[in-house]
Amino acid sequence: MPDETDKLLSEREKTHGDAAETFEVGIDLVSIVVHTCSPLRPHHFAILNILHKIARILCGSFNPDHWDDIEGYARLGKRIQQENNSG
């Protein structure tokens, strides 16, 4: 009998796609930022979160919340970068 974590992961796969595939795509996307942007700044963290959501979408997750999350991270990243550039 599966434990609660197994049940949760099974349900999550239905809404968020295959985790292993998402991790592979996510690694590729995140590697670009990590290798290109040194040192990492706070707005880069927003970019990394956006890429995580993009990886989920690319791997078959059709949860509309991902698009809302992308919008939110983009706004936060923009605000943080503007504050850093004006200071």
Q: What is the CB neighbour count within 10 angstroms for residue 28?
A: 11
> What's the confidence (pLDDT) of residue 79?
95
Q: Residue ranges of the chain with pLDDT lower than 70?
A: 1-2, 87
pLDDT tens digits for range 38-59: 898 889 999 999 999 999 999 8
**pTM for the predicted model, two decimal places:** 0.79
Q: For 40-61, give the DSSP string.
A: --HHHHHHHHHHHHHHHHHTT-
CB 64 within 8 A of CB 25: no
CA–CA dist 40, 45 (Å, integer): 8
Residue of 44, 41, 19, 20 whose CA lies nearest to 33: 44
